[in-house]
Amino acid sequence: MMRRGFRVVRSDPLLLTLLAATAGLFLWYATAPQSRTAQVVTAWVFVASMHACLIWITRSFTRTPGLPVVARRFWRAVLVGGVAYLVGDVAQLVLAATQPGLACAATGGAVRIATLSAGSAWLMLALLAAPLGLTTRRERLRFWLDVATVMVAAVVVGWYLVVPDRPAALLDAAAPVLSGPVILLLCVFVVAKLTMSGTTLFTRACAVIGTAAAAMKSGADLLIGDGLDAGRLHWFLALTIAANAMLTIAVRVTQMQLARNPLALERRTRQRPYSLLPYGAIVVTYGLLTVAIWRHEAASVPIALTGAAVSTLLVVLRQLDAFRENAQLLAELHRSLDQRETLAARLQHQAFHDGLTGLPNRQLYSQRLDAALAAGGPAVVMLIDLDDFKLVNDAHGHAAGDRLLKVIADRMRACVRSSDTVSRIGGDEFAVLLSSLPGDDPLEIAARIVREIEAPVPVDGGSARVGASVGVAFARPGAAGCLPDGEALLREADHAMYAVKRDGKGSYAVSPGQPGVATAPRVG
């Protein structure tokens, strides 16, 4: 980044001239020239020249092709502010040339103070009116609370630097305070806020140079806080010319950067959700209050105390708003988590249950069968296939077939206990898993299922009727003392079910080689 800056400087003769002239004149003032008239007149001639150059550069800048509309509007406001500055410079130059011995000839007469205040206020309004990317009312509220916090600190700083010992001279102090730290510190804040929000008005280099210029102007105001003597005059003028020159240099740097890269104003930075400047402003107000109390400055203590209290109140209001937003975000997070858990439960249910009947599907049935066998307890598997179900679909339609399946699913659930599992494992094929308990007869349950399924089901103003072929398999230890696996039991039940179909349907049968009856009589 520094190398790019050097390349920009070397490639522009005007920028080189501005830097060289500013550095040379600053060094000349650092030597403390003897002639007060030469110091004062030279300073204002240079400041007027800088502002004239600022007007020329800004006018050229506003005509740059492809400049965003918002940025063009802002730089036109800078042009108007530069004109206001130049008018004040000319009036100040006349005053310095005719009456160089007056204190205001060096620090600024009434006309210059008025034009400086008006130009600075105009620029501040242009900065504040620029879009900041704040889309919600809460974001705008926080921004204005931040501005108000920094404004309070700036007023306290301005008062302390300019009129610390004149508590009654409020009207006399208003102009120098507004023309000095308040406007400059507010501009520093807004520039930083714009930079953090990524608004495309100027480059980061322009913001850094402008902030440094504001710091130099505040340093100059600090030198004349309790009067301007001969030992401070040259430093005050040196900082003043440097601050005004740096504003012009900042504009020229932005213009050169845009010429080298037309997309320079479109590089948006990531917006921070907070700014540290208001908290820094509070530190400043409490620091000045501490200094005033330590030095026993009775005139400054009330001002600093009021500023500290007001700035603290503003930050507290901002934090309360932030706490409220955090509470809302947490509530939204909890709602989102609840919705996610509900959705997860719904998806879990859909993954393991049949969408039509709500019964467990084949996957869940297999899991429960494997778990029952792994537990080592008795288990009975039934495989049920509906007889003549296709005839119902052909005669009454698929909607009637779906209704029949739902009714049959409910009837089968009523035939077993809540601890048992009824599952739909195919189109018209069901499975039942029984935990065989003492006193329960699985074959009676199988017969009950056959009877319930055979009962007519109302459909389309009439009725439909199907039968059921049921195959039963018992989980019994084999020769080696091991239980068969789930798939083996299902195969055995399937063989028994097809044996029923071969024998005429509408009944149940036990897998060959297992306890019970090999083939039951027809149920009905």
For the segment 466-487, what is each residue's pLDDT rounded down to a tens digit?
999 999 998 876 544 556 688 8
Rounded-to-integer distance, Cα 143 and Cα 147, Å: 6
Give me the pLDDT at residue 3, please: 54
Higher pLDDT, 376 or 423: 423
CB neighbour class for 511 (10 Å; exposed up to 12, middle 13-18, buried from 19): buried
Asked whether 51 and 82 are in contact (CB, 8 A), the reply is yes
Give me the pLDDT at residue 409, please: 94
Rounded-to-integer distance, Cα 430 and Cα 463, Å: 22
- Please state the pTM of the whole predicted model: 0.53
- pLDDT of 183 strictly over 50: yes
- pLDDT of 358 strictly over 80: yes
Q: What is the percent of the chain with per-residue pLDDT over 70, rounded to a whole number?
A: 81
Rounded-to-integer distance, Cα 449 and Cα 442, Å: 11
Q: Give the three-class secondary structure for 379.
A: coil
Q: What is the mean pLDDT of residues 392-396?
A: 87
CA 498 to mean position of chain CA atoms: 64
Give me the pLDDT at residue 433, please: 94
Q: What is the mean pLDDT of residues 281-288?
A: 85
Give me the pLDDT at residue 519, please: 46
Q: What is the percent of the chain with per-residue pLDDT over 90, rounded to a whole number?
A: 27
pLDDT-derived band at 516 (thresholds 50, 70, 90) equals: very low
Q: Which value, to the nearest 10 degrees, does the dihedral of the CA atoms of residues 485, 491, 494, 495 take? A: -120
Maximum CA pair distance of the chain?
132
Q: Which of 486, 487, 488, 378 is nearest to 434 (CA)?
A: 378
Asked whether 192 and 275 are in contact (CB, 8 A), the reply is yes
DSSP string, 279-316: HHHHHHHHHHHHHHHHTT-TTHHHHHHHHHHHHHHHHH
Give me the pLDDT at residue 168, please: 46
Task: Find the range with the poorest average confidence among 195-204, 218-227, 488-497.
Answer: 195-204
Beta bridge partners of 430: 384, 424
* Encoded tokens for 339: 């919705």
Give me the pLDDT at residue 184, please: 57
- pLDDT of 408 strictly over 50: yes
Q: What is the mean pLDDT of residues 179-189?
A: 56
CA angle 353, 356, 359 (to 5 degrees): 35
The strand order across the sheet containing 467-474 reads: 421-424, 429-434, 380-387, 467-474, 508-510
Length of the chain: 524
* Encoded tokens for 394: 């052909």
Q: Which of 241, 273, 272, 267 is nearest to 254 (CA)?
A: 267
Give me the pLDDT at residue 68, please: 81
- Give buried/exposed letters for 11-38 (b at 16+ CB in 10 A, else e): ebeebeebbebbeebbeebeeeeeeeee
End-to-end CA distance of the chain: 93
Taking only the tens place, the pLDDT of each residue in 454-468 is 999 988 778 889 999
- pLDDT of 1 strictly over 50: no
Asked whether 210 and 247 are in contact (CB, 8 A), the reply is yes
> Can you list the alpha helix ranges (DSSP code H) found in 295-421?
300-352, 362-375, 389-396, 398-415
Give me the pLDDT at residue 517, please: 42
Q: How far is CA 4 from CA 15, 140, 257, 297, 437, in A?
A: 14, 36, 9, 49, 86
- pLDDT of 411 strictly over 90: yes
Task: Find the range with the poorest average confidence among 91-95, 264-268, 333-337, 469-473.
Answer: 264-268
* Encoded tokens for 250: 């900042």
* Encoded tokens for 121: 């206020």
Rounded-to-integer distance, Cα 171 and Cα 469, Å: 105
Q: 């509007």: which residue's tokens?
A: 73
Q: What is the mean pLDDT of residues 384-402?
A: 90
Rounded-to-integer distance, Cα 239 and Cα 522, Å: 112
Taking only the tens place, the pLDDT of each residue in 412-438 is 999 998 889 999 998 899 999 997 665
